[in-house]
Amino acid sequence: GDYEDYRRHLYGGLTHKALLVDVAGTLLVPSQPMAQIYRQIGAKYGVNYSECEILNRYRRAYEQPWGKSCRRYVNDGRQFWQYIVSSSTGCSDSHYFEELYNYYTTEKAWHLCDPDAGNALEALRKAGVKVGVVSNFDTRLRPLLRALKCDHWFDAVAVSAEVEAEKPNPVIFLKACELLGVHPEDAVHVGDDRRNDVWGARDAGCDAWLWGADVKSFREVAERIGVVV
């Protein structure tokens, strides 16, 4: 539309100078359903809830107000995840927790939501668009991106455990823009959560597209910005 044309005029054919990307649910998805993994690994520790029960208990636990800071992911996130695992499964065995926690740091636990993401992100960077991660995650995120060999797709990573602010707090988006050296109005954020990703980014002054609705692939993201993959 006219707005995009106006922006392309500003940025030499592109609509934005920077792309911010959410991780869980947008860039990466769990390879197997969470409840299945909790039950599978938990079998030898006496976990006998069904997957359906685990999922319901997980959702209830996840939605509880969390701690004084309200931040779920502090440092390595262990405290929060211990609470989630024991609430979801009724098992507080530390060996069980460690096995689950470590599983989610390995490349077999996750896969790319869009297998073509790398090509699109590389094309954007070649065209001069800065690309950054904005994620509510603990300090396992960087090693996880390395394990999946996608850390080199990004110019910067803003992870809530390090920034000490979680989406939808605009602070984490502003930090990402600062790391990329762009103004918030020069950036568009893509994520799958309306509240955290779309409203959060817009509160920070960025543009935002909802993954799965506004855009469904990274090729589409690149093309909307004005870069042919």
> What's the CATH code of the domain at 135?
3.40.50.1000
Q: Give the residue among 207, 208, 164 at the shortest CA–CA distance from 186.
A: 207
Give the model confidence (pLDDT) of 34-63 as tens digits.
Answer: 999 999 999 999 999 999 999 999 999 988
Specify the residue for token string 């990466």. Answer: 28
Are 22 and 42 members of one domain? no
Give the model confidence (pLDDT) of 146-165 as tens digits.
Answer: 999 999 999 999 999 999 99
Are 145 and 96 members of one domain? no
Tell me which amino acid residue 207 is.
D
Token pair recorded at residue 56: 């319901």
Tell me which amino acid residue 209 is.
W
Token pair recorded at residue 199: 């409203």
Token pair recorded at residue 222: 């690149």
Are 79 and 173 members of one domain? no
Are 56 and 134 members of one domain? no
Are 10 and 50 members of one domain? no
Are 154 and 117 members of one domain? yes
Are 218 and 126 members of one domain? yes
Please, what is the average pLDDT of the chain? Answer: 95
Are 8 and 68 members of one domain? no
CA 72 to CA 33: how far, in whole Å?
Answer: 21
The whole model's pTM is what? Answer: 0.93
pLDDT band per the 50, 70, 90 thresholds, residue 67: low
CA 198 to CA 200: how far, in whole Å?
Answer: 6
